[in-house]
């Protein structure tokens, strides 16, 4: 079987690698592999703390993918000869002010629904779990089963593993799916998937990368926190890199970070972990998460020849193993029951005429985001953190409480 994969982000590469392992002749088409969200992602593998109201259908898939990550990481390192920075890293979720702590309590009810270990800790206990937390943190939640990985290292390893498995790379953009010389085509082009009629929108986010000196302490857990109604995360790498994110902007198309966004992220992260003020600011990155109208991925058949594996929003890195396995099963003729909620057919635009012909540029990914352009990147690895809430949230979700004196809600970077 000849398989063409459109998009060389981490999702596309993992799909190509698995297909090649199954004996397919695979060609990956992308002019700039890894130029999309994989390069900017924080790398949290968090089936507990990445739970969101209104996304219950995603929880089992997230859990299965998280459980698959340890073996997937070992196999990928063996196949590529490269480390991927996989770590069993617990997450602490904390709040600074009373309203922030109320939001943590609200989220805790959702975390418990995952059936995984969630411990509510008083102030001293949470600071024992993460000694660098501010003394202003009075309590928190510990998710001991969360993990983390280095997305850039994962992408590099996937490139190497795919090449070793015989995957070929064509450094060209694809405008005409019908013109590809393949029996099966997989669309894994992230935000670029919108060019083929799929309802994928770009959600812009800014992330900071900092460096600690050799004698400086870094957080030993992943820290998620709320500061005056705004969320922030802090992820540490083994090499001393500390990732702070992320803003979320549904309308922005700017590819550079602003001083205001950097200021907000630094101020909030320093309120949680004061030591961050002493780190070196090494990089300001901007990426575009590929979101769908319901924030769930698009995984499944569009027609007898075309498969979608895109729209992973903030969860692309976490969902790499499960997505690659699911697409491998689809290419092999199976129809996994776990994918029902992600069937592209749930949206009327999926499977449109353009799948059989030349893709045409669109002024906007779909009508609800006027003024947003589709970035040229072809990466379907979701950009974690800072996600917008879904329009159709669970009816059971408790009402959020607004911190006194502050404006709660998702941060929109000024542009």
Question: Is 363 domain-assigned?
Answer: no
Residue 366 vs residue 20, higher pLDDT = 20
Q: What is the pLDDT of residues 82-128, one digit of tens each?
A: 999 999 999 999 999 999 999 999 888 888 888 888 999 998 999 99
2 within 8 A of 181, measured Cβ to Cβ: yes
Q: How far is CA 126 from the centre of its chain?
A: 26
Closest listed residue to residue 94, CA positions, set 146, 49, 140, 46: 140
Of 28-32, 53-57, 241-245, 267-271, which range is least confident?
Answer: 53-57
Pairing mode, if any, of strands 241-245 and 91-95?
unpaired
Of 14-23, 31-40, 252-261, 328-337, which range is least confident?
Answer: 252-261
Q: What DSSP designation does 178 have?
A: G
Question: Is 245 domain-assigned?
Answer: yes
Check whether 390 has a pLDDT greater than 60. no
Closest listed residue to residue 9, CA positions, set 25, 31, 23, 20: 31
- Reported as type and span, the H/E element at residue 5 is strand 2-6
Question: Is 368 domain-assigned?
Answer: no
Check whether 385 has a pLDDT greater than 70. no
Closest listed residue to residue 106, CA positions, set 226, 272, 234, 267: 226
Check whether 360 has a pLDDT greater than 90. no
6 within 8 A of 378, measured Cβ to Cβ: yes
Neighbour tally for 369: CB within 10 Å: 15
- Reported as type and span, the H/E element at residue 193 is none
Check whether 380 has a pLDDT greater than 80. no
Question: Is 378 domain-assigned?
Answer: no
Burial status of residue 64 (CB atoms within 10 A of its CB: 0-12, 13-18, 19 or more): middle
Domain count, the chain: 1
3-state SS class at 235:
strand
Instruction: Look up the CATH number of the domain holding residue 245.
Output: 3.50.50.60
3-state SS class at 345:
helix
Which whole number is the average pLDDT over 233-249? 91
Extended beta strands in 160-277, E state: 168-170, 184-187, 201-211, 222-227, 230-236, 241-245
Res. 138 pLDDT band, cuts 50 70 90: confident
Q: What pLDDT does residue 269 have?
A: 97
Question: Is 404 domain-assigned?
Answer: no
Question: Is 262 domain-assigned?
Answer: yes
Of 37-41, 77-81, 99-103, 131-135, which range is least confident?
Answer: 37-41
Residue 137 vs residue 356, higher pLDDT = 137
Q: What pLDDT does residue 123 have?
A: 87
Question: Is 331 domain-assigned?
Answer: yes
Q: What pLDDT does residue 352 have?
A: 47
Question: Is 54 domain-assigned?
Answer: yes
Q: What pLDDT does residue 37 have?
A: 84
% of the chain with per-residue pLDDT over 90: 68
Of 6-20, 145-159, 184-198, 389-403, which range is least confident?
Answer: 389-403
In terms of DSSP H, where are the helices of 283-319? none
* Cα(47)–Cα(70) distance, integer angstroms: 14
- Distance between first and last Cα of the chain: 47
Select, from the ranges 46-60, 221-235, 341-355, the one with the highest average predicted confidence (pLDDT): 221-235
406 within 8 A of 231, measured Cβ to Cβ: no
Question: Which domain covers residue 208, as residue numbers?
Answer: 2-356
């Amino acid at each position: 079987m000849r398989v063409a994969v459109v998009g060389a982000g981490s999702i596309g590469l993992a799909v190509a690698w698995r297909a090649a392992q199954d004996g397919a002749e695979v060609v990956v088409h992308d002019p700039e592999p890894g130029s999309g969200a994989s390069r900017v992602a924080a790398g949290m593998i968090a089936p507990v703390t990445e739970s969101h109201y209104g996304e219950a259908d995603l929880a089992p898939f997230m859990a299965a993918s998280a459980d698959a990550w340890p073996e997937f990481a070992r196999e990928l390192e063996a196949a590529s000869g490269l480390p991927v920075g996989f770590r069993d890293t617990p997450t602490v979720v904390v709040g600074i002010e009373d309203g922030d702590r109320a939001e943590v309590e609200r989220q805790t009810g959702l975390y418990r629904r995952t059936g995984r270990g969630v411990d509510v800790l008083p102030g001293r206990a949470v600071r024992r779990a993460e000694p660098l937390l501010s003394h202003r943190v009075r309590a928190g939640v510990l998710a001991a089963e969360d993990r983390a990985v280095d997305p850039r290292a994962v992408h590099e390893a996937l490139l190497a593993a795919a090449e070793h498995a015989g995957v070929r790379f064509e450094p060209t953009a694809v405008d005409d799916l019908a013109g590809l010389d393949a029996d099966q085509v997989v669309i894994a082009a992230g935000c670029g998937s919108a060019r083929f009629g799929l309802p994928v929108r770009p959600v812009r986010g800014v992330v900071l990368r900092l460096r600690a000196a050799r004698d400086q302490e870094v957080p030993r857990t992943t820290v998620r926190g709320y500061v005056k109604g705004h969320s922030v995360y802090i992820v540490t790498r083994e090499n001393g890199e500390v990732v702070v994110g992320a803003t979320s902007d549904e309308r922005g198309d700017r590819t550079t970070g602003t001083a205001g966004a950097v200021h907000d992220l630094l101020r909030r992260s320093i309120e949680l972990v004061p030591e961050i003020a002493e780190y070196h600011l090494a990089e300001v990155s901007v990426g575009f998460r590929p979101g769908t109208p319901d924030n769930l991925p698009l995984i499944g058949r569009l027609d007898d020849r075309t498969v979608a594996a895109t729209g992973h929003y903030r969860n692309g890195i976490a969902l790499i193993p499960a997505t690659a396995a699911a697409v491998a099963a689809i290419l092999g003729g199976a129809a996994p029951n776990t994918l029902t909620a992600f069937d592209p057919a749930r949206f009327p635009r999926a499977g449109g005429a353009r799948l059989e012909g030349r893709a045409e540029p669109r002024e906007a990914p779909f009508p609800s985001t006027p003024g947003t352009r589709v970035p040229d990147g072809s990466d379907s690895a979701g950009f974690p953190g800072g996600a917008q809430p879904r329009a159709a949230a669970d009816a059971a979700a408790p009402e959020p409480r607004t911190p006194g004196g502050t404006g709660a809600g998702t941060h929109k970077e000024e542009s």
